[in-house]
Amino acid sequence: MQWLYDPANVALLTKAFLMTLMISTIVIVGSNLLALPLAIHLQRPAAPLRRVIIAYSFFARAAPVLAILFVLYYGLPRLGIFLEPVPSAIIGLIFASTAYNLEFLRSGFEGIPDGQTDGAHALGLTSWQVYRRILIPQAYAASGPALFSNAIQMVKGSSLASLVAVDELTAASTTLVAETYRAIEILTFVGALYGLIAAVIIGLQWLYERSLAWQHPRR
């Protein structure tokens, strides 16, 4: 573990770890914020742009994330748009992940019996109140596990940014491996850092599910 005593290597890894944390956080928050309004919008059968959103969702789930990142990385400069590698990778990752969150939330909404909406309207609740009080909490309770495991997928997916010139954790590990030839130690260490982030997300999921159990003790 000699390589870890070199302050330059520690600085490189710390910076890279923070970059991975930042990209993952922005992608997780961004894709969840975009997915909810899209999922709610699709609940209306005659929603405008319904076909466009469904086509987007299909495309984003059928194309590999790496291909989407390459479109932004190699394609945008051809159109005269020059983005830094980090924002370009973040946009690509959000584009890919939002589609999955959208589908999880959609099936969360579709699992709720129609009678609940009808009943709530009959009680005089406005559409906004029906979503806020009745539908959204249940959709999240149903899709929670899928949304949390997708969050872990996004952390793992951030490693693909290393292939489009972003200096995040995986890129730093290959730099260090090339310099020191200590592949096993370095990649185990970096793997443990990814495991740590995943463990934090699993911990948050546990807290979330415990708070649900507290709100609905009979479930």
Partner 1 sequence: MLEIALAWLPQLFSAAILTLALAAVIFAISGVFGLGLALLVRSAASPWPRRAAEGFSSIFRSLPELVVLFFLFFGGAQIGLDLGAVGSTIVAFGLVGIAFDYQVFKGALSAIPEGQFDGARALGLSRWRLFGLVILPQMLPLARKGWITYAIATIKRLSIASAVSVSEIMYVTKQAIAATNEPFLFLSIAIGLYILIVTPLLAFNERSQKARR
**Contacting residues toward partner 1, per CB under 8 A:** 58-59, 61-67, 70-71, 74-75, 78, 152, 155-160, 162-163, 170, 173-174, 177, 181-184, 187-188, 190-191, 194-195, 198-199
19 contacts: CB under 8 Å, gap ≥ 6: 86, 166, 167, 168, 169
Taking 3-state DSSP, the helix, strand and coil percentages for the chain, each rounded to the nearest 5, stand at 85, 0, 15
Nearer to partner 1, 40 or 187 (CB): 187
Nearer to partner 1, 138 or 149 (CB): 149
Q: Cβ 10 to partner 1, closest distance in Å?
A: 19
Q: Cβ 187 to partner 1, closest distance in Å?
A: 4
Q: Cβ 190 to partner 1, closest distance in Å?
A: 6
Nearer to partner 1, 74 or 206 (CB): 74
| Contact of 96 with 68, CB cutoff 8 Å | yes
Nearer to partner 1, 66 or 125 (CB): 66
99 burial level (CB within 10 Å; 0-12, 13-18, 19+):
buried
| Contact of 162 with 170, CB cutoff 8 Å | yes
Q: Cβ 62 to partner 1, closest distance in Å?
A: 5
One-letter identity of residue 14: T
Nearer to partner 1, 117 or 180 (CB): 180
131 contacts: CB under 8 Å, gap ≥ 6: 40
3-state secondary structure 127-181: HHHHHHHHHHHHHHHHHHHHHHHHHHHHHHHHHHHHHHCCCCHHHHHHHHHHHHC
Coil, helix or strand for 218? coil
Q: Cβ 194 to partner 1, closest distance in Å?
A: 6
Q: Cβ 27 to partner 1, closest distance in Å?
A: 14
Give the residue among 208, 43, 210, 48 at the shortest CA–CA distance from 116: 43
Nearer to partner 1, 14 or 188 (CB): 188
